[in-house]
Structure 1
Amino acid sequence: MAKLVTWVAVAFLVWMRELVSAQSEWNTAHATFYGGSDAGGTEGGACGYGDLYSSGYDTNTVAISSALFDRGLACGACYQVKCAGKASECHPDSPSIQVTVTNFCPPNPSLPDNNGGWCNLPLHHFDMSEPAFQRIATYKSAIVPVMYRRTACMKSGGIRFTMSGHNFMNLVLVTNVGGMGDVQSVYIRGSKTKWVAMARNFGQIWQSTVNMSGQSLSFMVTTSDGQTVVSNEVAPPDWAFGQTYEGSQF
């Protein structure tokens, strides 16, 4: 039975990804890469994910320009990207790759759009981790035109909630979000409180000033497509700062 449930869940995620992709039109952009061959330079970033390996994002990550980043609301969104350059730049048959937004590519107004100012407004640009870039294009190409579209995020396990801060400033990093991936709102509820709306601190770090120490914690997460998932009592009454708790998934 457990294997059947797992198979059904995987099949549903694949169907959802294909459905979202089918409904999303391909758009044009350019892509570069950063972070080194091991993607070590992509750690941290404007979304607040920190260690991308422990957060579940691995090396299939991307920093996007202002036109796409939307002041951090796009953190966690997934895109399907494929090379659209010359045959000498792209891998044969132009394979596509799914990348998750984990960082911001800042504009550089002092440089022209076509020579270093790749992330200037209004350009759509993907600054991919080097390993991700090399899955679609050659290293020596450095910058290539690409086609991209939104796609559902394929994640293993539940949404993760990492606690930090102190009693009167609860900070919660929300990671490993499936579905559309880009969390737009988070509510927290203690076993002795009602639902409390959390404010975005930055990226996907959310904050609440309500003291919920000694209470089990539940979370309600909504993504950009309006879908909501409730994770009831995922953190026990003795939850601690620095710990990560896993909830339900889209």
Structure 2
Amino acid sequence: MGLTLDSYISFLCMIMILLPSRCYSQDSYVSSRATYYGSPDCLGTPTGACGYKTYGSTVNGGEVSGVSYKLFKNGSGCGACYQVRCKYAPHCSEEGTKVVVTDHGEGDNTDFILSTRAYNKLARPGQAEILFSYGVVDVEYKRIPCQYPGYNLMFKVHEHSKFPQYLALIPIYQAGVSEITAVEIWREDCKEWRGMRRAYGAVWDMPNPPEGAITLRFQVSGSKWVELKSIISSEWKAGATYDTAVQLD
């Protein structure tokens, strides 16, 4: 029996609703290419474009990556986590590697420049030497939630900060898949929020910050604001880390 016009229209509407959810599912992998960079300890680099310094070389056990411009997103992609796996059977492991973005970099149509330790995890046992000999491999990747059991989101006073005239902050141990898109500091003297500048990567800064303990708020993925009252000590120092007591989803 044929469909009536109303039934046919309803059927098409259902298809249009279901297709986007399938196309944009987080379970979907994207095809790309990956290479690696060398380091004496096989970990990440403390000089990455995200500004993480030592944290950027050791976070996630050193399984980190520089990413292409489209994934770096002018720095808002810093701290994002991806599962990356290569496609050369029988050399590649099924799970591949789970990396944290700590840098920007691309070459030869790659989206990922992996640390040596992360690139090694792409291979099955005994097959890593073969993958390293290729230099660049075809991969597939997907965004996954970052997980830091036992850690809250923290704000670190960046090493370039100079008390009291220049304050730079960087969020670390940022879980979930949300991105921090803005950071503001409360100016009690003016009774208003003042935006911090994204200096580069994940580093937010402000010259002549207010005196006393600092209250700040940050925006998550362009909508939700999270306020942290007196989170930064009135006598902050470069390198100090402050626990927010919250974590992102």
1:86 to 84, 89, 94: 89
Residue 172 (structure 1) shift: 1.0
Residue 190 (structure 1) shift: 5.8
Is the CA contact (8 Å cut-off) linking 2:215 and 2:231 kept in structure 1?
yes
2:224 and 2:97 map into 1 onto residues whose CA distance is: 25
**Cα distance 1:219–1:153, how it changes in 2: closer, same or farther (>3 A)?**
farther
User: Any stretches of 5+ residues in structure 1 without a counterpart?
Assistant: 1-20, 107-116
2:68 and 2:35 map into 1 onto residues whose CA distance is: 11
**Cα distance 1:165–1:181, how it changes in 2: closer, same or farther (>3 A)?**
farther
Q: Which amino acid aligns with 1:197?
A: G
1:216 and 1:236 map into 2 onto residues whose CA distance is: 5
**Secondary structure, aligned partner of 2:55:** coil
Is 2:55 the partner of 1:58? no
Is the CA contact (8 Å cut-off) linking 1:67 and 1:124 kept in structure 2?
no
**Cα distance 1:53–1:209, how it changes in 2: closer, same or farther (>3 A)?**
closer
Matched with 1:101 is 101
**Secondary structure, aligned partner of 1:103:** strand
Residue 86 (structure 1) shift: 2.6
**Secondary structure, aligned partner of 1:70:** helix
2:43 and 2:85 map into 1 onto residues whose CA distance is: 23
Aligned residues: 212
| Of 136-145 and 76-85, the range deviating more from structure 2 | 136-145
Residue 225 (structure 1) shift: 6.4
Matched with 2:10 is none
Residue 37 (structure 1) shift: 6.4
Larger radius of gyration: 2
Is the CA contact (8 Å cut-off) linking 1:76 and 1:177 kept in structure 2?
yes
Superposed, 1:25-174 pairs within 5 Å as 25-36=28-39, 38-40=41-43, 42-52=45-55, 56-87=59-90, 89-91=91-93, 94-106=94-106, 117-118=107-108, 123-137=109-123, 138-142=128-132, 143-156=136-149, 157-163=151-157, 164-174=161-171
2:56 and 2:100 map into 1 onto residues whose CA distance is: 13
2:201 and 2:215 map into 1 onto residues whose CA distance is: 21
Matched with 2:7 is none
1:85 and 1:223 map into 2 onto residues whose CA distance is: 37
Residue 236 (structure 1) shift: 2.8
Q: Which amino acid aligns with 1:102?
A: T
Is 2:226 the partner of 1:229? yes
User: Any stretches of 5+ residues in structure 2 without a counterpart?
Assistant: 1-23
**Secondary structure, aligned partner of 1:196:** strand
1:200 and 1:124 map into 2 onto residues whose CA distance is: 26
1:54 and 1:82 map into 2 onto residues whose CA distance is: 21
- TM-score w.r.t. structure 1 length? 0.74
**Cα distance 1:23–1:226, how it changes in 2: closer, same or farther (>3 A)?**
farther
**Cα distance 1:229–1:133, how it changes in 2: closer, same or farther (>3 A)?**
farther
Is the CA contact (8 Å cut-off) linking 2:67 and 2:101 kept in structure 1?
yes
Q: Which amino acid aligns with 1:217?
A: I
Q: Which amino acid aligns with 1:128?
A: L
- Across the aligned residues of Structure 1 and Structure 2, the Cα RMSD in angstroms comes to 2.6
**Cα distance 1:55–1:166, how it changes in 2: closer, same or farther (>3 A)?**
farther
1:54 and 1:238 map into 2 onto residues whose CA distance is: 28
Matched with 1:239 is 236
Matched with 2:20 is none
1:86 and 1:184 map into 2 onto residues whose CA distance is: 39
